[in-house]
Chains A and B, each alone.
Chain A
């Protein structure tokens, strides 16, 4: 089976610094892949290269077997790649409902049909289901900026899922989220994965969260993959322990 995401020999340098150094891996349908590593290990740079936010210096990225290098983020999104950001990324002055509809509308019809078609692009019902799914139902008509930090994280994730993506890339979804909300988020992500077969790649520092969510983990250090395997294997890998403790 063609991997949903295939990263082949990707490198990225900033001046003389190799932030990502010849990284290759595949992600298959239904997997939840964790990408971990100490600060500065190249996780976010790798993410940005895969998502077209930064051009990779060398190497290729394939989504569903199709080369995506050089495609702008909006085109990548149309190919079925959703993402969340490390820093909060919602549209604060728009309502929760409008945030979610926006996340789906660009996948409906053409630019012209969106101007003359329904104001909600026919998405209100689906959007309300998504809002309920992420337990934000009581906030539907509030401005997104008025939600608590954790709720905005949930909204951010909900937006990434709205267009029914094949692959969702989550950049530190747990950062700054309190424990109750975190359990909620994890449970919602797992449910999405099981019910809709969505594939995830997750960058995360919260080890407990990663270990309990992911099916496979890749560890990066100094831009290179130093370990790979199921959570248990990675947890006990001496090179990983050394990388984290800086031994």
Chain B
């Protein structure tokens, strides 16, 4: 990592630490949702952006994580155990959901994961004895850390921020490791990867499992943030929202989903003054971005950088010429 990148990261972290102090309780809540959705989108970015496996089920893993955490903590299980259980459960279910991906790809896989999301929502709605049905679960406790309550918005914000940083670092380590290389190879050319010794079976399943466990943790945090969950919070529209975060930010870029989540969580706040036109403006912006830059905002940044490099030194790279 270059000094420049490191300085940017430190500055970014400093902003994340100081920013909530300038915000109202509502502002802190919005920041928390941004970080929570970022964790979920980071997971989907691994599955979709790096490993190339389409999934429309990320919200269902958030749901599984949220309900697991809610039910366990309300039954008296300590919150760390409940959160780890949520992640492990999502890892296992994500691993199993990866099996169809060994047979089908692209839009077929999209439909399978979409159906899975619908199935999870139905179960959350219909198994009233466990999930409270459409009424959901109310009064989910927030964690207590070394005798410190996170009931207050600021305290909870720092709890979420700590986990966000931890998960980002973990993801960065995975992406940089040979596993990350194998994930990208799976995305770019599974047949060639297989002939070079990459076990594409295991790699595919792990891409789903790890991505899903990130969804599980995000759901777990969402349950604690809102202290109320219902099946509606984990429907297909939420999966599409997380997908949009990944795509808008830039799939396969490390900071893509974080930037995407920022835009998509904050857009309603900024566009509030437009009142009824909010959704129309939002949809138009997404269409324009996708038409002109399908690689997302960070893809746009990379394109600009390459263009700049080429202008400074026309022989610097053959990247554009080779396309």
Chain A's closest residue to B202 (CB) is A111
Chain B's closest residue to A83 (CB) is B195
- In contact, B197 and A107 (Cβ under 8 angstroms): yes
Cβ of A101 within 8 Å of any chain B Cβ, yes or no, is yes
Chain A's closest residue to B191 (CB) is A89
One of B189, B195, B199, B321 near A91 (C-beta < 8 A): B189
Task: Pick the most buried of B189, B192, B322: most chain A CB atoms within 10 A of its CB.
Answer: B192
Cβ of B184 within 8 Å of any chain A Cβ, yes or no, is yes
Chain A residues within 8 Å of B321, by CB = 146
Question: Which of B127-135, B170-178, B230-238 has 4 or more CB atoms under 8 Å from chain A?
Answer: B170-178
Cβ of B317 within 8 Å of any chain A Cβ, yes or no, is yes
- In the complex, A90 Cα to B188 Cα: how many Å? 8
- CB contacts under 8 Å to B, within A115-172, are 115-117, 119-121, 142-143, 145-148, 159, 162-163
Cβ of A74 within 8 Å of any chain B Cβ, yes or no, is yes
- In contact, B188 and A91 (Cβ under 8 angstroms): yes
- In contact, B195 and A51 (Cβ under 8 angstroms): yes
Cβ of A176 within 8 Å of any chain B Cβ, yes or no, is no
Task: Pick the most buried of A73, A142, A163: most chain B CB atoms within 10 A of its CB.
Answer: A73
- What's the nearest-Cβ distance from chain A to residue B53, in Å? 16
Given contacts A98-B181, A142-B318, A142-B319, contact A77 B189 (CB under 8 A): no
- In the complex, A25 Cα to B8 Cα: how many Å? 61
- In contact, B178 and A94 (Cβ under 8 angstroms): no
Cβ of A93 within 8 Å of any chain B Cβ, yes or no, is yes
- In contact, A106 and B192 (Cβ under 8 angstroms): no
Interface residues on A, range: 35 or more
Given contacts A143-B319, A145-B322, A146-B318, contact A94 B188 (CB under 8 A): yes
Given contacts A105-B178, A114-B177, A143-B319, contact A90 B197 (CB under 8 A): no
- In the complex, A114 Cα to B206 Cα: how many Å? 14
Q: C-beta contact mask, B89-104 vs A, less than 8 Å → 1, else 0?
A: 0000000000000000
- In contact, B178 and A91 (Cβ under 8 angstroms): no
Chain A residues within 8 Å of B192, by CB = 85, 89-91
Cβ of B278 within 8 Å of any chain A Cβ, yes or no, is no
Cβ of A56 within 8 Å of any chain B Cβ, yes or no, is no
- What's the nearest-Cβ distance from chain A to residue B232, in Å? 37
Cβ of B30 within 8 Å of any chain A Cβ, yes or no, is no
- In the complex, A14 Cα to B252 Cα: how many Å? 39
- In contact, B189 and A89 (Cβ under 8 angstroms): yes
Interface residues on B, range: 20 to 34
- CB contacts under 8 Å to B, within A77-110, are 77-78, 82-83, 85, 89-94, 98, 101-103, 105-108
One of B176, B185, B196, B202 near A77 (C-beta < 8 A): B196
- In contact, A102 and B185 (Cβ under 8 angstroms): yes
Cβ of A72 within 8 Å of any chain B Cβ, yes or no, is yes
Cβ of B297 within 8 Å of any chain A Cβ, yes or no, is no
Given contacts A83-B195, A107-B197, A145-B322, contact A115 B181 (CB under 8 A): no
Chain B residues within 8 Å of A90, by CB = 189, 192
Cβ of B46 within 8 Å of any chain A Cβ, yes or no, is no
Chain A's closest residue to B319 (CB) is A146
- In contact, A119 and B176 (Cβ under 8 angstroms): yes
Chain B residues within 8 Å of A116, by CB = 177
Cβ of B179 within 8 Å of any chain A Cβ, yes or no, is yes
Cβ of B200 within 8 Å of any chain A Cβ, yes or no, is yes
Given contacts A91-B189, A145-B322, contact A103 B196 (CB under 8 A): yes
Interface pairs (30), CB distance under 8 Å: A51-B195, A72-B201, A73-B194, A74-B195, A74-B196, A74-B197, A82-B195, A83-B195, A85-B192, A89-B191, A89-B192, A89-B195, A91-B184, A91-B185, A91-B193, A101-B181, A102-B181, A102-B182, A103-B196, A106-B182, A114-B179, A142-B318, A143-B322, A146-B317, A146-B318, A146-B319, A146-B323, A147-B322, A148-B318, A163-B197
B residues apposed to A, CB below 8 Å: 174, 176-179, 181-182, 184-185, 188-189, 191-202, 252, 317-323
**Beyond A102-B178, A105-B182, A159-B196, 18 extra complex contacts between A and B, CB < 8 Å:** A74-B197, A89-B192, A91-B184, A91-B189, A93-B188, A93-B252, A101-B178, A102-B193, A102-B196, A119-B176, A119-B177, A119-B178, A142-B319, A143-B319, A145-B322, A146-B322, A147-B318, A148-B322
